[in-house]
Chain A
Amino acid sequence: MEFGSDDLAKYPFLPDVGEFVKEMEISVSALSSSDYDKVVRRAEERVVEAIQKREVSYPISDRQPKTEDEKVRLGLRPMVGGAQIEMLSFPISLALVKATKLDHLANIYSLAEAKRAVKLLQSSQSSRYADHELGTVLTIFRRVFGIRVETFKVEHRDDYFTVPVADYVKRASKFHKEEWKLVNKPVTRGKVILDRQDLVRLVGDEIEAMIGQRLKLMPSGTKLPDNLQEIVKKIVRMAPPEPQSPYTIIHIAPENYPPCVRRAIDLLDKGENVPHYGRFLMATYLLSVGKSVDDIVSMFPKAPDFKQNVTKYQVEHLAGLRGSKTRYRVPSCRTLQTHQFCFMDPVKCHQITSPLQYPSRKNSGSTQESLGKNSRPGEAKSNASESRKRSKRDWMKIQHR
């Protein structure tokens, strides 16, 4: 199926847009001409919306909001100057973002554009374009993401789809909510049945990554005309400051370790066998809270199968001192559940996704130590709830040191 110009306006990240723009043979210097005023204005608006609302609006032509409320809710507004403006403004927005040389703005912008695309893909059409629009969605999934999506008839409703199980778990295994777990989805004959909202949500991260990748691969140092350079300056002024580096190690008193780590240590103390995953968790966690390899090895001698050299080798491996020199991450709560080594505290483990997020710093038995070149130890908060608040990305970065 061929995409129409409305489709390309909605989904300007599609490779077809690049072809289209190429065919139009617009040079960068031509963008200073007043012919492109509206396009440039929309390009600027896209970036400004990303900064201010963290989401780019999505004017669409065939469906107007009925009330002011709906207009606000949907973020809809009439298309100014049609599909071409919407489509052409996207690569110009990318050029503007690239010219700021701000990596974190590139992330903000990719995410905001991805949100726009997700909302558009999710909004099913009841108009005369419904069939075409459904075809567009299926084609995007098959051609861009390589997922063989099919429509699935459910009584009285036709907005259901099937996705091959492998394609589903490759993506959904990164989501943390229990409703995304395969076990909670209708699965039959190798297919997962999804409604439209979930189907689209499945590829949201990929759209973001695709846009991010495009920004990354764009040549830097392209000379922009004066009018665009002015916009770049404006955007740089508006952009939020770069987030503080979270490269810190938190020293935690043993009584404040999460219950899974405490269980592993207790079992070892009693000389009982600790399953492989328990040992892996204990070692990676203790390394993350600043314990040395020798400290950790010294905790193992009571294990029924203890061999000093083997244990030392293994802990050094996890610490990134051997082999690939990569330090192993602390397993997530979800992985621990899979390996039956989660001993959840119903209150303190509520809504955490990693043992490192366990609110361990209630007592003053913990201190923080700065490691990264950009970290500002003096600014680190140390109240009890902060570690819980720490975002997923933060704790992953800590482990990626």
Chain B
Amino acid sequence: MDENSTQIVKRYFKEYYFRFGARIKSPSEIESREFGYLPFAGMMVRHLSFKDIGALHALLLKEAPAGVYCSNSTYEDPTAEMYLKNWKKAALIFDIDADALKQPCKKVHDIWLCKECGRKEFGLRPEFCPSCKSNRLLELSWACPMCLEAAKKETNRLIEFLEFDFGIESSEIKVYFSGNAGYHVSVEKSSFDTLDTRGRAEIADYLTARGLSSKILSSQKFLPTDAGWRRRIAKYIRNLPEIDQSFKSSQYEDRLFELSKFSKKEVETFMNRLIAENSVRIDAMVTTDVHRIFRMPETLNNKTGLVKRECGKELANFDPLREAIAVQDGEQRSRIFVDICPKIELGGESYGPFKSETRDLPLYVGVYIVSKGGGKFLSEQSNVASQNEIVSNRRA
């Protein structure tokens, strides 16, 4: 990001923390947690500790950092080096990223960038840059409402696993929009708090069905009234529609008999399909890492300028691209040179696609595009905004 753009984004962040910083609530046992922040220039600052949330608010006003993080773990000494902190416990956390769900719309809104010649194009990353043949290509993924809806569906499935299989009370499960392209789920208090990395890997594997033995299928020892993955498999087989090509019969028992006649290859194919449709695609790294500092709720995501926001009880009614906008003042506008940007939706309006053009856009849209690496600010508070552009881009 160029210096001018950085300054404008930083001012936007500062305004947010000035006006809405009080929304950032203290985590439980704040004195035992490690905090960190990422400045707009420089390296991540970690191993900080605050006695109360007021001290953090003050820091945010002073620094207006690009990212603010807090450990999901508690430590005896959160400011010590990692190996001297003395880990106590950690909330169970999950990260669901729309990008990992590989939705078909990715090829419409993703962008690749050649690190060698600078070429940028819409679409999935090719193996080599068509211009300079370099293979040093970066992917810039953007999330559209469809991707975010898929992530929401995945989040609902995760919650079902947490409640039904792991017996976690729904009041302990908090769901947040990450501020970028997915959802964070945190289990505040549970018997899993003291699990180490290895134990958490087992939880992650359970959700992603990694290591699920195909012997379960051949043993046929499962019923819809069973427990765990056996129950899921049984229900899946029973509920497959009649027209499904995997089975000739529509009756559960007959389908089990057919299954016993499947070849090894057929079992494998069926297993892969069953896992794809029933598992939860979480980022296992996040769940298993007990020394992570995690983006704090109600702080801004530097990849978008959107807020990491709690979704409330009704996840279905939460619209991240409307409800997570940090500062939405119609008056605040900006002129930006858009290098490349797919069609995006924010605050109920749609913008783009743009390529190598100058645009006057609401400031929060400008912050979004620039933070995504799609362009640079020419000026803030431009007065030459052509309302026609917005109107022409308005959703039908």
Residue ranges of A at the interface with B (Cβ–Cβ < 8 Å): 164-167, 169-170, 172-174, 178-179, 181-191, 193, 270-272, 276-277, 302, 304, 323-324, 326, 334-335, 337-340
Contacts and interface: CB of A to CB of B under 8 A. Distances in A.
11 contacts: A167-B191, A181-B205, A183-B202, A183-B205, A185-B228, A186-B226, A189-B167, A271-B134, A271-B135, A338-B210, A338-B284
Contacts of B164: 188-189
Interface stretch (B192-200, B259-267, B333-341): B192-200
A179 B81 CA distance: 38
B156 to A, nearest CB: 19
Contact of B211 (A170, A178, A187, A276): A178
A54 to B, nearest CB: 27
Contacts of B135: 270-272
A317 B205 CA distance: 28
Contact of A304 (B81, B136, B199): B136
A173 B201 contact: yes
B268 to A, nearest CB: 13
Contacts of B115: 304
Contacts of A164: 191
Contacts of B192: 165-166
Given A304-B115, A324-B82, A338-B284, A172 B202 contact: yes
B189 to A, nearest CB: 12
Contacts of B167: 165, 188-191
Question: Is chain A's interface secondary structure helix, strand, loop, or mixed overall?
Answer: mixed
Contacts of B227: 186-188, 193
Given A173-B198, A187-B228, A193-B227, A182 B285 contact: no
Nearest to A324: B83
A186 B229 CA distance: 7
A167 B199 CA distance: 9
Contacts of A271: 134-136
Contact of B213 (A184, A323, A334): A184
Interface in B292-348: none
Nearest to B43: A310
Given A169-B203, A173-B198, A187-B166, A181 B83 contact: no
A220 to B, nearest CB: 31
Given A173-B198, A182-B205, A324-B81, A166 B210 contact: no
A179 B221 CA distance: 14
B204 interface: yes
A337 B211 contact: yes
Contacts of B82: 323-324
* Residue among A174, A179, A189, A323 with max Cβ neighbours from chain B (10 Å): A189
Contacts of B165: 165, 187-190
Contacts of A182: 202-203, 205-206
B229 A335 contact: no
Nearest to A189: B167
Contact of A323 (B81, B198, B201): B81
A191 B228 CA distance: 10
A276 B285 contact: yes
Interface in B87-109: none
Contact of A179 (B138, B198, B213): B213
B216 interface: yes
Contact of B195 (A169, A191, A277, A304): A169
Nearest to B134: A271
* Residue among B84, B134, B205 with max Cβ neighbours from chain A (10 Å): B205
Interface in B11-30: none
A141 to B, nearest CB: 16
B230 interface: yes
B155 interface: no
A166 B187 CA distance: 14
B288 interface: yes
A167 B229 CA distance: 19
B173 to A, nearest CB: 13
A183 B199 contact: no
Contact of A169 (B136, B199, B209, B285): B199
A254 B115 CA distance: 29
Contacts of A193: 227
Contacts of A272: 135
Contacts of B284: 338-340
Contacts of A188: 164-165, 167, 227-228, 231
Contacts of A184: 211-213, 216, 229
B228 A186 contact: yes
* Residue among A164, A191, A338 with max Cβ neighbours from chain B (10 Å): A338
Nearest to A303: B136
Contacts of A169: 195, 199, 202-203
Contacts of B211: 178, 181, 183-184, 334, 337
Contact of B209 (A165, A183, A270): A183
A166 B288 contact: no
A273 to B, nearest CB: 8
A339 B230 CA distance: 24
B168 interface: yes
Given A166-B199, A189-B167, A338 B204 contact: yes
A173 B230 CA distance: 20
Nearest to A335: B201
